[in-house]
Structure 1
Amino acid sequence: MSGNKLWSKANTSTSQLIEAFTVGRDKDFDVLLAEYDVLGSLAHTEMLAAVGLLSREDLVLVQEGLKTILDEIRAGAFSIDKDVEDVHSQIELLLTKRIGEAGKKIHSGRSRNDQVAVDIKLYLRAQVLALKEEVSQLFDLLIDLSDRFRDKLLPGYTHLQIAMPSSFGLWFGAYAESLVDDLEVLAAAYQVANKNPLGSGAGYGSSFPLDREMTTKLLHFGGMNVNSVYAQMSRGKTEKIVAMGLASVAATLSKLAMDCCLYINQNFGFISFPPELTTGSSIMPHKKNPDVFELIRGKCNRIQSTPNELTLLINNLPSGYHRDLQLTKEILFPAIEEGKACLQMTRLMLSHIEIKDGILEDEKYKYLFSVEAVNELVNQGIPFREAYKQVGNQIDAGTFSFDYKKGLHHTHTGSIGNLGNEQIVKEMSIVLTKFA
């Protein structure tokens, strides 16, 4: 029969089969919300006392009890009992067991709907900030590598065909700037997660004189979801928007990982890593496999499916709360952890990257400088189309040559000779202020 349910009425029960199906994996992810559930209750009960719905004596008992539970959660000493449905029930039951009747008063003016909504908002806000820190650290590393290897040339490709000269400074810097745009998306997700739904109840407000502005300030939200119906509609939508920010970061990491898989290949041979960061073969003793980058690529491609999976889950739901929303946790929460791990592993790998010298001395790259040769002729007054034809004829005749060691003249912003990293760093600093 059913376990300990705060919402159970007299002479009612739920079969174990139904209970197991409806709870599913929810308790596994609810543990991640425990800290935020207590923080929400601390703010809610302080507000209840302020509006006269909780005595000062009861408030003292409740706040002390909740803070003790919070300490236990942060120490890793909290779990949800087998017969308790969710984290909200566990905390309220634990509090009531310890302080008595006052613990039963903390749910006044609140529904589990807005309780879980505020928990998820607080959790996602914290996770977005954690992702921001990871992205920022990777950005700093990429800028450092770009500056350090600005003069190391490598071939650039279009259609996977040798195209024009590039550099490691340009390559690393490109991914640094990509992260700036990714953080723009993540910053937008932060603004959405940084709104307080608490006080919306089951989605239709309350007849109690709740002070929602007070709980918004106590929980350090930037604002609130004003309309109580929309506060519930923001469930699922908030998760999807955060997933979009995460997916944007993942797209950059996946592309970078793919480049690394190519560049470590013997047919390219541009980069290498210490043996302890690669793996071998069970039968081929020469192998140094880029397994870490292959897994980053695979994991980040899966992460990019997260917004679509959430869309399929919530797309046809009408307004109001629906149990489908419970499933957003098992879709998004693991994806966030995978995203942070991929950021950390990318940073670890790039911290040990080794760059090959003299890459462009290989004969197969001699046509890499055909555009340079055309531009030299144009600078001498020859029309572009005529210069293009002359160089093309030299290539066809096998007589083309270009001494790139005399120097390449790329001076515009964002080119080999003028990376523009200072501007990129400035753009990143502006984006980071959006997480204040």
Structure 2
Amino acid sequence: MSKAKLWSKGMAIDEKIEQFTIGKDRELDVELAKVDVLGSLAHVQMLNEEGIISDEEFPAIKKGLLAILDAVNAGDFTINEGVEDVHSQVELLLGKEGGRIHTGRSRNDQVLVDLKLFYRVKLDELIKKLISLSGLFLEIADKNKDTLMPGYTHTQVAMTSSFGMWFTAFAEAFKEDAEYLMAIFPIINKNPLGSAAGYGSSFPLNRTRTTELLGFESMHVNPINAQYGRGKSELIMSQALANISLNINKLATDMILYSNENYRFLSLPSALTTGSSIMPHKKNPDVFELIRAYSNSLMNLPSQITMIVSNLTTGYHRDFQLLKEYLFPAFNKVSELLDLIEYTLPRLKITEHIVEDEKYAYLLTVDAVNELVKKGIPFRDAYLQVGKSIEKGQFQKPSKLEHTHEGSLGNLGISAIKDDLEKLTKNNPYRKIEDILSKLISD
């Protein structure tokens, strides 16, 4: 038997239609339980301060919300069968006081604030993971800075690289992903409470106060824009997840290629590979093949989000409900892939003396050209001179490598990237938010 809905006016609803419209809300909304309670705590405190909820009513409501929060933190919160979402479950658990928490609020701005609070947590988690992973790449890069490997353009042997340079590239790429997340944080960190159904409320709400209580950087001033932001926020974050996935994909593709028997630049321990049911010699890099496949799928996320929110007129639409079904699992999957990379990296075995193979004889042709230029020969003449020596089979590679500029083989710039990571950690905005939310719970 279905419980009463927040929007119920006493009329029955067809069960088949009800199940379809609820969709996966009950399953996904469990993840929103903590932030839903936090949003309600701030809302009812503001209502009490504005005299909309009395001093006699407020303590019981807050006590009930804190009890629900304790259940959430203990892993004991569930959404009952027949209850359509987390908001309804919280009201149900509050009993008679539950009806008061919806004063001056619509389910539209309630779910919006839940999502904003939830997305802040997810952004913070990813920023920390990216900083940690980037630091690990730098550590491994430093250990392998003198181990040379071929660099490629057009998938053809091009110039000398090193494992230090290769690992540092991913360190910087994932660091830039963290910077991107930090850049979009202020856009996500805006308070929509008070926008109600998208057109404000006749109650004298103090929106500045709920902005302060929840640690938002600012508010969506216009209530229509607050509702319009649903979908836009998700699109911005989906692009961030796609950016991370692109780097993950590049790494996985390199790992698969470089561990191939025809390359043998690196190898995975047997415990991290799988075998064949027919070929006893096989050691398959399935973990990176699946990482590649998942990252390919995740890079499609912005297109999926765009197709849901396109062609919608101003105002709320039930279409928005589907955004959770795409974005929530995407956050979890990106996080899982980052964890897997951090787990496998220290276990890689790097091959040494790769470039001594004869097929890499021309890796230093550019260095040979540059040596001639340093002696006063114009670049184009030096280029032709080295080219002719290659044609005649007379090319002599330089006796030593001299790369000194920032980011080059002899100066990888590891310390500069480390400094950036330290700044990111120091400037992470969620540290201050955690203190504000702790105060909301304790006051």
TM-score (norm 1): 0.96
Per-residue deviation, 1:181: 2.2
Q: Is the 8 A contact 1:43 1:215 kept in 2?
A: yes
CA separation in 2, counterparts of 1:222 and 1:275? 49
1:17 aligns with 2:12: no
CA separation in 2, counterparts of 1:129 and 1:269? 37
**Counterpart in the other structure of 1:90:** 89
Per-residue deviation, 1:324: 0.3
1:333 aligns with 2:332: no
| Aligned with residue 426 of structure 1, among 401, 406, 419 | 419
CA separation in 1, counterparts of 2:288 and 2:400? 34
Alignment of 1:8-157 (within 5 A): 8-10=8-10, 12-96=11-95, 101-157=96-152
Per-residue deviation, 1:51: 0.6
Alignment of 1:22-421 (within 5 A): 22-96=21-95, 101-402=96-397, 406-421=399-414
Letter in 2 for 1:418: N
Per-residue deviation, 1:185: 2.0
Letter in 2 for 1:6: L
- The number of residue pairs the alignment matches comes to 429
CA separation in 2, counterparts of 1:349 and 1:409? 33
Q: Is the 8 A contact 2:2 2:83 kept in 1?
A: no
Letter in 2 for 1:150: K
Letter in 1 for 2:223: S
Q: Is the 8 A contact 1:2 1:19 kept in 2?
A: no
Q: Which structure 1 residue ranges, 5 or more long, are not aligned?
A: none
Letter in 1 for 2:349: E
Which range moved further: 258-267 or 383-392?
383-392
Q: Is the 8 A contact 2:32 2:86 kept in 1?
A: yes
Q: Cα deviation per residue 1:5-33 (whole Å; 9 max; x = unaligned)?
A: 132113x1110111011111111111110
Letter in 1 for 2:339: Q
**Counterpart in the other structure of 2:4:** 4
CA separation in 1, counterparts of 2:129 and 2:276? 32
SS of 1:166's partner is strand
Q: Is the 8 A contact 1:394 1:400 kept in 2?
A: yes
SS of 2:161's partner is strand
CA separation in 2, counterparts of 1:347 and 1:28? 29
* Structure 2 CA distance for partners of 1:240 and 1:435, relative to 1, 3 Å: farther
Letter in 2 for 1:209: P
SS of 2:160's partner is strand
SS of 2:120's partner is helix
CA separation in 1, counterparts of 2:375 and 2:115? 65
Q: Which structure 2 residue ranges, 5 or more long, are not aligned?
A: 430-443
Q: Is the 8 A contact 1:4 1:85 kept in 2?
A: no
Per-residue deviation, 1:432: 4.5
CA separation in 1, counterparts of 2:309 and 2:423? 33
CA separation in 2, counterparts of 1:292 and 1:264? 12
Q: Cα deviation per residue 1:328-377 (whole Å; 9 max; x = unaligned)?
A: 00010000000000000011111211111111111110111111222222
Q: Is the 8 A contact 1:183 1:245 kept in 2?
A: no
Letter in 2 for 1:299: Y
Per-residue deviation, 1:431: 4.2
Q: Is the 8 A contact 1:189 1:238 kept in 2?
A: no
Letter in 2 for 1:422: S
CA separation in 2, counterparts of 1:432 and 1:317? 39
Per-residue deviation, 1:307: 1.2
CA separation in 2, counterparts of 1:320 and 1:249? 31
Per-residue deviation, 1:383: 2.2
CA separation in 1, counterparts of 2:427 and 2:288? 31
Per-residue deviation, 1:434: 5.0
CA separation in 2, counterparts of 1:54 and 1:216? 19
Q: Is the 8 A contact 1:366 1:401 kept in 2?
A: no
Q: Is the 8 A contact 2:126 2:178 kept in 1?
A: no
Q: Cα deviation per residue 1:138-189 (whole Å; 9 max; x = unaligned)?
A: 0100111111111110000000000000011111111111123222321132
1:435 aligns with 2:435: no
CA separation in 1, counterparts of 2:177 and 2:64? 41
Q: Cα deviation per residue 1:274-304 (whole Å; 9 max; x = unaligned)?
A: 1111111111122111111111111111111
Per-residue deviation, 1:401: 3.0
Per-residue deviation, 1:120: 0.4
CA RMSD of aligned residues (A): 1.4
CA separation in 2, counterparts of 1:383 and 1:242? 50
Letter in 1 for 2:63: E
Q: Cα deviation per residue 1:58-109 (whole Å; 9 max; x = unaligned)?
A: 111111111111111111111111111111001101111xxxx322211100
Q: Is the 8 A contact 2:71 2:77 kept in 1?
A: yes
SS of 1:413's partner is coil
Letter in 1 for 2:4: N
CA separation in 2, counterparts of 1:15 and 1:312? 29
SS of 1:401's partner is coil
CA separation in 2, counterparts of 1:3 and 1:146? 58
Identity of aligned residues (%): 51
Q: Is the 8 A contact 2:90 2:98 kept in 1?
A: no
Q: Is the 8 A contact 1:200 1:229 kept in 2?
A: yes
